[in-house]
Amino acid sequence: MPQSCPNLNESRHYADLLSLPFTDLRRLLTAARVSAAEVPMAAGLHYNYAAMPVEERHLDLLQGLSDEFDLVGQYQRLLAGERMNVGENRRVLHHLTRGQLGPAVMHDGRDLGAFYREQHQRIFAFAEQVHRGALRGSSGAAFTQVCQIGIGGSDLGPRALYLALQQEARRQGCQLMTAEFLSNVDPDDADQVLARLDLARTLFVLVSKSGTTQETLTNETLVRVALRHQGLDDRAHLVAVTSETSPLAGNSAYRDSFYMDDFVGGRFSSTSAVGAVVLSLAFGPAIFQALLAGAHAQDALALQPDIRHNASLLDALLGVYLRNVLGYPCSAVLPYSQALSRFPAHLQQLDMESNGKSVNRRGEPLPYASGPIIFGEPGTNGQHSFYQLLHQGTDVVPLQFIGFEQAQGQRDLLVQGSTSQDKLNANLAAQLVAFAKGRADENANRHFAGQRPASLIRGARLTAEALGALLAHFENKIMFQGFVWNINSFDQEGVQLGKVLTGQLLAGTAEDEALQAYGRLLGLRPPA
Ligand SMILES: O=P(O)(O)OC[C@H]1O[C@](O)(CO)[C@@H](O)[C@@H]1O
């Protein structure tokens, strides 16, 4: 498969895209275009690309590029279980954690779709027992809090989803447990999280796919010590989520264990057991199942070969246009929804750990740019922070807005003639137009050049289904971009070197003198 992938620089569609003149967004962005330039997504969401500098001729060439690179065909092969993670020689099966779209994927005589479903069912049954009070802490107290211990993909996605659904769950009367997340090896993180917990009533979920992550194992020990210090039996307060091949699998130090496998990458694991345990405990299985349904529906739409009807594919190709034709190095994610406050942080890992690569799937250096730098904050907070640079800085940063007609909660009032939600969305619309059209001023300091591209994902309300669709949209967008760039989006070798040097420093075996010197500056002592 990798051998047959075309090189972007040799693509005739790419060459034709490069030869097109720059599209003037100030002229392009009309009311008719705002209404027309939309692609429906799952769960009632829409992808609007009116403020992207592309016309029909660009879309025709991007369609040609998609066909030339067989992007949907590559997705189908991934769904069928082909080993698309060539670096680690692994299948890539996160789509299967939310439903079957391709043929059954068999591994060592086992149907992996059935395996993921079975783990979800075990988790739902476990959560229901906890909620009924059939499973309790070692003092006999019912569990009312859940705390996930994990980092990276074992933290960011589940945390972002928990925060995104909290208000929605309250509205539906199903916030059954509160959740906390402990990720950083900084002892102040553990201190603060533990201070918010009633340990006798807390169930900890240790999540580590590899079962070897230093930060997570260290925090686990801090938690066990704190539990024992209160006279509690730590084993009764911890469950594990890990891969079947990890050193943690089958360990009796946990009350129960739930599994994913090596074919679900950490940053793509929110819909596996990694997100299922904490979200089912917090909100009950029904909300998590709704999230899965939204993600599955969006995965199905991503099979559509026509880019004008496939939001994830179109978003991916427009991103390639911005990155490789227009040369923009960054992209900002701007949700006008406080519920999505940690969603940009999740997307940072999802996108940058996947597509921050400089060799292709054959290990050859890339002769073109790959994944952009991603950052973001919810609006309107970001407006009062970094939007100055976005409007008038020397770099053009393409923008990904997300907005909803209604808030999740019901506490909103007319203040000076408009509700808070009205004000939020008026700000969103205003920013989109200000970025695209700018405003001429004789005073250069007050001049807005405009021409800042943006897309908008919009919906009625951020429900669990909509959140699932949103999550899957970005996962699939990133996957399609990896196919265009012919990179392996599913490994992360770039995180290894730092881990090795950290280990050397802590073990006192570091040979690099600069490393030793930094260690001394930071107060590290040779191990006793
Ligand atoms: O779930 P684990 O194995 O503890 O890994 C946590 C995270 O660490 C990473 O490997 C990066 O260091 C991520 O890819 C992963 O999500």
Rounded to the nearest angstrom, the gap between the alpha carbon of residue 175 and the centroid of all alpha carbons in its chain is 23
List 229, 309, 447, 499, catalytic entry: 499
pLDDT at 1: 45
Domain for residue 47, yes or no?
Answer: yes
Quick one: average pLDDT of 137-160? 98
Same domain as 487, residue 498? no
Same domain as 299, residue 344? yes
Rounded to the nearest angstrom, the gap between the alpha carbon of residue 482 and the centroid of all alpha carbons in its chain is 15
pLDDT of 6 > 80? The answer is: no
Do residues 69 and 28 lie in contact, with contact meaning Cβ atoms separated by under 8 Å?
no
C-alpha 186 to ligand 1 mean position (Å): 17
pLDDT band at 411 (very low <50, low <70, confident <90, very high): confident
Same domain as 217, residue 155? yes
Residue nearest to atom 14 of ligand 1 (CA): 266
Same domain as 89, residue 222? no
Rounded to the nearest angstrom, the gap between the alpha carbon of residue 522 and the centroid of all alpha carbons in its chain is 33
Domain for residue 398, yes or no?
Answer: yes
Same domain as 371, residue 277? no
Residue of 155, 209, 248 best suited for mutating to test ligand 1, as the one with most atoms within 8 Å of CB: 209
Summarize pLDDT for 209-239 with one digit per residue, the tens. 999 999 999 999 999 999 999 999 999 999 9
pLDDT of 5 > 90? The answer is: no
**Please, which residues bridge with residue 243 across strands?**
260
Domain for residue 101, yes or no?
Answer: no
pLDDT at 85: 97
pLDDT at 217: 98
Same domain as 204, residue 261? yes
- Give the CATH number of the domain where residue 226 resides: 3.40.50.10490
- State how far the Cα of 23 lies from the Cα of 322, in Å rounded to an integer: 12
Q: Is 180 left (phi over 0), alpha (psi -120 to 50) or beta?
A: beta
- Count structural domains, the chain: 3
Summarize pLDDT for 350-370 with one digit per residue, the tens. 999 999 999 999 999 999 999
Same domain as 303, residue 173? no
pLDDT band at 109 (very low <50, low <70, confident <90, very high): very high
95 is catalytic: no
List 180, 353, 377, 465, catalytic entry: 353
Same domain as 475, residue 515? no
- Going by C-alpha positions, the residue among 237, 164, 167 that lies closest to residue 198 is 237
Cα-flanking dihedrals φ and ψ of residue 238, to 5°?
-130, 130
- State how far the Cα of 265 lies from the Cα of 287, in Å rounded to an integer: 23
Same domain as 347, residue 282? no
- State how far the Cα of 235 lies from the Cα of 342, in Å rounded to an integer: 31
> What is the average pLDDT value for the chain, to the nearest integer?
97
pLDDT band at 423 (very low <50, low <70, confident <90, very high): very high
pLDDT of 528 > 90? The answer is: no
pLDDT at 3: 47
Residues with CB under 6 A from ligand 1: 150-154, 208-210, 213, 216, 266-267, 353, 492, 495
Neighbouring residues of 365: CB distance < 8 A, sequence distance ≥ 6: 358, 359
Same domain as 116, residue 16? no
pLDDT band at 26 (very low <50, low <70, confident <90, very high): very high
Domain for residue 376, yes or no?
Answer: yes
Same domain as 229, residue 89? no
pLDDT of 2 > 50? The answer is: no
Same domain as 498, residue 412? no
Q: In what order do the strands lie in the sheet with 373-376?
A: 38-40, 46-48, 454-459, 399-404, 330-336, 373-376
Do residues 369 and 323 lie in contact, with contact meaning Cβ atoms separated by under 8 Å?
yes
Residue nearest to atom 2 of ligand 1 (CA): 208
Distances from the Cα of 9 to the Cαs of 6, 57, 349, 479, in angstroms?
9, 20, 27, 19
C-alpha 243 to ligand 1 mean position (Å): 12
Domain for residue 102, yes or no?
Answer: no
Residue 39, amino acid: V
Do residues 35 and 450 lie in contact, with contact meaning Cβ atoms separated by under 8 Å?
no
Domain for residue 246, yes or no?
Answer: yes
- Could you tell me the residue range of the domain that residue 464 belongs to? 2-94+292-492
Model pTM above 0.95: yes
Quick one: average pLDDT of 444-451? 97
Ligand 1 atom nearest to 150, measured from its CA: 4
